[in-house]
């Protein structure tokens, strides 16, 4: 005989023994997939509407189902819904509650569909909405960067390669580099959204259904671009989730790089920027500490998201067509990616509006490491000296500066002229920090007026 829990299962007809209690808990997904309830109900309402339009349900049955589903949604949102592990997942919990509320009409809702196409539809509906939210948070962070870049368009700091002083740049130019990275991240997410906005519903378990359904109409109701072309592919692949995870990993890699720079720049050794107290924490033992915990935590979360991407790839790599229970494991990493990515973007968008620059420390650092050496080489080239010869001349001048502990701009003219008579007293105009950044006055350059022009173009891009 069946026990009461077993008989409540929609698939219990061919079974002669109840599910083992541990197996029941082990295979259930309702503890985490319940967060899909809104999308499950949204898809079910569209499905019932289509079934009635096709004459598979009566209008009265459709109305009862829609009204019942709205009641279930209200109970869930009011915290009055009791989720059942024996019912396994969000789909069966909602359907069971619907049947209890409206009777036999509720049992007709599953006509022409399977949990296989149902869950694939739910996840796409959920992820589509989350991508829209994430895209909005990226734009908010970009706006904060534009405001900061505009405020600090003239501020000079050292640019680095190999974490060694390379050339002077403006802080605004550096912020605009972050802006451009985020713009590509934004485009990647929207491109992913375009590919995932295809509807699996109607694929049923794997082969479609014998009922005369109208999948194009259901897709229209759910605002999908079109129904999936192939029923096997529709229920079994999760490449849209993997693509999103890859895009999320790239975005988190960018945020991690931003974090690394903020952590370095806010340290006592650099002292380039100050993070607001609202985004830092203290030490339990060292009273002087102001720790950049927000960027550190974002940097740490990047590894977590990279791991989820590898996990999802591994999950899919050996699955035969069509649906397999393995795919139950796609949702927890996907949920975690979205939650942590959304939180990271939000805190960054909030934090960057409160970053302040220490202009004196940045300029002092830019004067170290002979950051205007390339400017001196360019100066010599303009005097008719081949670049490779100019490179050698400047290298010798730098060696002198190292020996004497003086920057190029601090060396007297007679010291510089011993390496080339082409050097005259006008050389000091190119050896200053401001002269160096101002000279890079072209599209994409670090000159303050080019930074302001880039900001104006970027603001127009966001408006467009």
Other C-beta atoms closer than 10 Å to the C-beta of 84 total 16
How far apart CA 176 and CA 182 sit, in angstroms, is: 10
**Residue 271 region by backbone torsions, left for phi larger than 0, else alpha for psi between -120 and 50, else beta:** left
Do 86 and 148 lie in one domain? The reply is no
* pLDDT in the model for residue 219: 98
Do 12 and 122 lie in one domain? The reply is no
How far apart CA 396 and CA 287 sit, in angstroms, is: 48
- DSSP code per residue over 275-344: --GGG-B--SS-TT--B-HHHHHHHHHHHHHHHHHHHHHHHHTTPPSS--GGGGGGHHHHHHHHHHHHHH
Token duo for residue 404: 């004497």
Active site residue 354: no
Ranges 1-10, 161-170, 246-255: which has the least confidence:
1-10
Catalytic pick among 186, 266, 283, 308? 283
Tell me: the pLDDT tens digits for 15-39?
666 777 777 777 788 999 999 999 9
The CATH number of the domain holding residue 430 is: 1.10.40.30
Do 89 and 10 lie in one domain? The reply is yes
Do 98 and 140 lie in one domain? The reply is no
pLDDT of 260 strictly over 90 = yes
pLDDT-derived band at 6 (thresholds 50, 70, 90) equals very low
Query: Interior CA angle at 264 toward 285 and 251, to 5°?
Result: 110
pLDDT-derived band at 13 (thresholds 50, 70, 90) equals low
Query: Interior CA angle at 352 toward 348 and 356, to 5°?
Result: 150
Do 140 and 268 lie in one domain? The reply is yes
Do 72 and 148 lie in one domain? The reply is no
Active site residue 29: no
Do 276 and 188 lie in one domain? The reply is yes
> Could you tell me the residue range of the domain that residue 144 belongs to?
116-159+169-203+230-363
* pLDDT in the model for residue 393: 94
Catalytic pick among 162, 278, 284, 442? 162
Do 72 and 182 lie in one domain? The reply is no
In a domain, residue 378? The reply is yes
The CATH number of the domain holding residue 66 is: 1.10.275.10
Token duo for residue 344: 């990271």
Domain end point (choices 337, 363, 389): 363
The residue-averaged pLDDT of 79-102 equals 96
How far apart CA 164 and CA 330 sit, in angstroms, is: 43
Do 252 and 137 lie in one domain? The reply is yes
Report field, pTM of the whole predicted structure over 0.95: no
Do 395 and 420 lie in one domain? The reply is yes
Do 177 and 309 lie in one domain? The reply is yes
Closest to 235 in 3D by CA, of 115, 109, 316, 396: 115
The residue-averaged pLDDT of 128-145 equals 98
Do 133 and 268 lie in one domain? The reply is yes
pLDDT of 438 strictly over 90 = yes
Tell me: the pLDDT tens digits for 200-251?
999 999 999 999 999 999 999 999 999 999 999 999 999 999 999 999 999 9
């Amino acid at each position: 005989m069946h026990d009461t829990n077993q008989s409540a299962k929609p698939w219990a007809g061919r079974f002669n023994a109840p599910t083992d209690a541990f197996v029941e808990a082990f295979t259930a997904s309702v503890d985490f997939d319940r967060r899909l309830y809104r999308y499950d109900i949204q898809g079910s309402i569209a499905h019932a509407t289509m079934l009635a339009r096709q004459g598979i349900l009566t209008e009265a049955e459709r109305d009862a189902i829609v009204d019942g589903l709205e009641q279930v949604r209200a109970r869930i949102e009011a915290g009055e819904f009791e989720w059942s592990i024996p019912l396994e997942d969000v789909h069966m919990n909602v359907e069971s509650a619907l049947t209890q509320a409206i009777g036999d009409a509720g049992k007709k809702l599953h006509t022409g569909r399977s949990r296989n196409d149902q869950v694939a539809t739910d996840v796409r509906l959920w992820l589509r909405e989350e991508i829209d939210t994430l895209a909005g948070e990226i734009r908010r962070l970009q706006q904060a960067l534009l405001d900061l870049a505009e405020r600090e368009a003239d501020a000079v700091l050292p640019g680095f390669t190999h974490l060694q002083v390379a050339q002077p740049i403006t802080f605004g130019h550096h912020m605009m580099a972050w802006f451009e990275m985020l713009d590509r991240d934004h485009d990647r997410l929207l491109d992913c959204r375009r590919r995932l906005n295809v509807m699996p519903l109607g694929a049923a378990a794997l082969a479609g259904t014998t009922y005369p359904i109208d999948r194009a109409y259901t897709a229209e109701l759910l605002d999908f671009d079109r129904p999936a072309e192939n029923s096997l592919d529709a229920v079994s692949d999760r490449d849209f989730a993997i693509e999103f995870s890859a895009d999320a990993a790239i975005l988190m890699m960018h945020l991690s790089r931003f974090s690394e720079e903020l952590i370095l720049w806010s340290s006592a050794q650099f002292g380039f920027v100050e993070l607001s107290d609202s985004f830092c924490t203290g030490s339990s033992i060292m009273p002087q500490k102001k720790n950049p915990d927000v960027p550190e935590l974002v940097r740490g979360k990047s590894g977590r998201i990279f791991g989820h991407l590898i996990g999802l790839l591994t999950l899919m790599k050996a699955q035969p067509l069509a649906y397999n229970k393995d795919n139950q494991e796609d949702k927890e990493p996907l949920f975690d990616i979205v939650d942590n990515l959304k939180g990271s973007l939000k805190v960054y968008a909030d934090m960057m509006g409160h970053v302040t620059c220490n202009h004196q420390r940045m300029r002092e650092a830019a004067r170290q490491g002979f950051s205007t050496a390339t400017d001196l080489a360019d100066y010599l080239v303009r005097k008719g000296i081949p670049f490779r010869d100019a490179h050698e001349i400047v290298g010798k001048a730098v060696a002198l500066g190292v020996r004497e502990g003086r920057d190029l701009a601090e060396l007297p003219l007679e010291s510089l002229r011993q390496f080339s008579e082409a050097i005259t007293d006008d050389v000091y105009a190119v050896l200053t920090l401001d002269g160096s950044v101002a000279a890079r006055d072209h599209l994409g350059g670090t000159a303050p007026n080019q930074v302001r022009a880039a900001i104006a173009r970027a603001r127009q891009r966001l408006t467009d």
